[in-house]
Amino acid sequence: MTSQATVAQPQIKSRLGAILRSTSGNFLEQFDFFLFGFYATAISKAFFPPGNDTNALLLTFTTFWLGALMRPVGAIFLGAYIDRIGRRKGLIVTLGIMAIGTVVITICPTYASIGIAAPIIVLIGRLLQGFSAGVELGGVSVYLFEISTPGNRGFYTSFQSASQQVAIFVAALLGYFLSEIMPADQVTAWGWRIPFFVGCIIVPFIFVLRRTLEETPAFLAMKHHPSPKEIFASAALNWKIIMLGMFMTAMTTVTFYFVTVYTPTFGKNVLKLSTADSLLVTLAVAVTNFIWNPVGGALSDRIGRKPVLITISVLALLTAYPALLWLTAAPTFGKMLAVEMLFSFYFGMYSGAMLGALVEIVPTHVRTTCFSLAFALAAALFGTFTPLASTWLIKETGDNASPGFWLMFAAASGLMATLAIYRGGKSIATRETAPAQA
């Protein structure tokens, strides 16, 4: 299989072009996800019953999380579809579903206009986005892995996550300019929809890019493309790898959603910093996330995935709560920037190594399904739960630094999973297949 894929590699005319086209859908997904988190307060006022701002915010983050619960469903069904018919066609389908969800949220009337139908419509939009996102990240990661050059798989695959940071940067920049040219009450009333409309406008351009995507040589070289029944059976058989992959990925998803989606709300509502300060920090996070992801991927290509994953997990486990305690004791823009830069480093380095590791440990013939399911479960149960968990922890404990415990839990999950995956110096994939090879 490997030799066949290697021979077929020249079929990819431009790897840079393939990276840009394949990751374009990631841009749209993360663009909308970030906007939902940043404008959570405005969305809560627009679509949920008035009277209790904290409860409305919790309902907003709950809706955000419920949409993520559709990710594992999308990973199973759309993942099987991609493993069956190809990476290119599957990524076009996921883009279409994602676009519909974005449009639904953008044009939904307010609670004041249509009552309880408003949050229901928004939830439907989030469910569609979650269903699509369940395989979008996995599909792109597998695509990048399969077009990579020998010895650079971690570096190539890291651009799945790096591309999302461009969306964070653009969304934060739009939000910053919006806050500068519009009064806060107008932004809360209707101005928050403007960036969502921008997302709708760019959909046709992303669709054109995806249409020109080439199929990967590795998929074309496969002698047998499994049926959905075979894919589901194989995924069930490899449940141990999927679960370990989920816990390994938890560190990535929790840290990412904290430093991007939750940071603006944390800065404004908890630290009482200005909207502009929160957005500037998020802009800086997007830039450093983009830098650290390929650095982490390239480093893991040179020294191995295991050392990078263990080192970053341990550092996060030891410093997450103390860093937030230092920040919340006397919040300033500079301290928030410093803490977020630290967490950005953890996220980028770990993510860059983790993506390549996860593709490597899942079975080749069901690569998209198993990768997507592991990632989707981590996002649903840990990552997208982060804004809700952080808000709830602060409310229940009265400790503004308490989200640090959630970050520590994620770091511990990543550490334990990594140790289990690479036990004895070999990855779980090697251990599981060794008897068959012998």
pTM, full prediction: 0.80
Residue range 161-189: mean pLDDT, rounded: 84
Assess contact for 340 and 363: CB atoms under 8 A. no
Residue with the larger pLDDT of the pair 210 and 408: 408
Contact 372, 78 (CB under 8 A): yes
Residue 399 to residues 134, 211, 226, 271, 393, Cα–Cα distance (Å): 33, 49, 51, 12, 8
Domains and CATH numbers, the chain: 15-213+223-437 (1.20.1250.20)
pLDDT value of position 139 = 77
Residue 66: band (very low, low, confident or very high) from pLDDT cuts 50, 70, 90? confident
Binned at pLDDT 50, 70 and 90, residue 399 comes out as very high
Mean pLDDT of 35-45: 81
Which region among 10-19, 89-98, 162-171, 418-427 has the lowest average model confidence (pLDDT)?
10-19
Burial call 418-435: b when 16+ CB within 10 Å, e when fewer? beebbeeeebbbeeeeee
3-class secondary-structure state, position 282: helix
pLDDT given for residue 378 in this prediction? 92
pLDDT averaged over every residue in the chain: 84
Q: Smallest Cα–Cα separation from 156: which of 329, 293, 29, 323? A: 293
Looking at residue 124, what is its pLDDT? Answer: 92
Residue with tokens 């399911």: 373
Please report the pLDDT score of residue 109 as a whole number.
92
Give me the mean pLDDT over the 257-271 stretch. 87
Please tell me the predicted confidence (pLDDT) of residue 8. 40
What's the rounded Cα separation, in Å, for the pair 185 and 199?
Answer: 22
Query: Does residue 361 surpass a pLDDT of 60?
Result: yes
pLDDT for residue 70: 86
% of residues, the chain, pLDDT over 90: 33
Contacts made by residues 403-407, CB under 8 angstroms, sequence distance 24+: 403/258, 403/262, 403/266, 403/324, 404/320, 404/321, 404/322, 404/323, 404/324, 404/325, 405/320, 405/321, 406/254, 406/258, 407/254, 407/255, 407/258, 407/316, 407/320, 407/321, 407/324, 407/343
pLDDT higher than threshold 70 for residue 430: no
26 or 113, which is more confident = 113
Mean pLDDT of 63-91: 78
- Asked if residue 75 lies in contact with residue 134, where contact means CB atoms within 8 angstroms, the answer is yes
Instruction: Answer yes or no: are the C-beta atoms of 264 and 37 closer than 8 Å.
Output: yes
Of 205-214, 231-240, 253-262, 365-374, which range is least confident? 205-214
Quote the pLDDT of residue 427.
63
Q: Is residue 51 exposed (0-12), middle (13-18) or buried (19+ Cβ within 10 Å)?
A: exposed
Task: Choose the weakest-confidence range: 216-225, 336-345, 415-424.
Answer: 216-225
Percent share of the chain, pLDDT over 70 = 90
For 424: left if phi > 0, alpha if psi spans -120 to 50, otherwise beta; the answer is left
Contact 180, 276 (CB under 8 A): yes
Confidence of residue 426 (pLDDT cuts 50, 70, 90): low
The mean pLDDT value for 133-143 works out to 78
pLDDT value, residue 14? 67
**pLDDT of residue 19 exceeding 70:** yes
| pLDDT (0 to 100) of residue 12 | 53
In whole angstroms, give the CA distance from residue 132 to residue 125: 11
Residues 223 and 60: their CA atoms lie apart, in Å, by 47
List CB contacts of 54: < 8 A, sequence separation 6 or more.
391, 395
Asked whether the predicted pLDDT for residue 157 surpasses 60, the reply is yes
Higher pLDDT, 393 or 146: 393
Angle among Cα 26, 31, 33 to the nearest 5 degrees reads 95
Rg of the Cα trace of the chain?
21
| CA–CA separation, 140 and 371 (whole Å) | 11
Q: What is the pLDDT of residue 436?
A: 36
What does the alpha-carbon distance between residue 25 and residue 164 come to, in Å, rounded to a whole number? 9
What is the pLDDT at residue 13? Answer: 57
Of 4-8, 259-263, 266-270, least confident by mean pLDDT is: 4-8
Give the separation between CA 254 and CA 191, rounded to whole angstroms: 29
Three-class SS state of 362: coil
Mean pLDDT of 130-135: 80
- Look at residues 30, 27, 22, 75 and name the one whose alpha carbon lies nearest to residue 362: 75
Question: Per-residue pLDDT for 391 more than 70?
Answer: yes
Instruction: Write down the pLDDT at residue 322.
Output: 97
CA separation for the pair 198, 210 (Å, rounded): 19
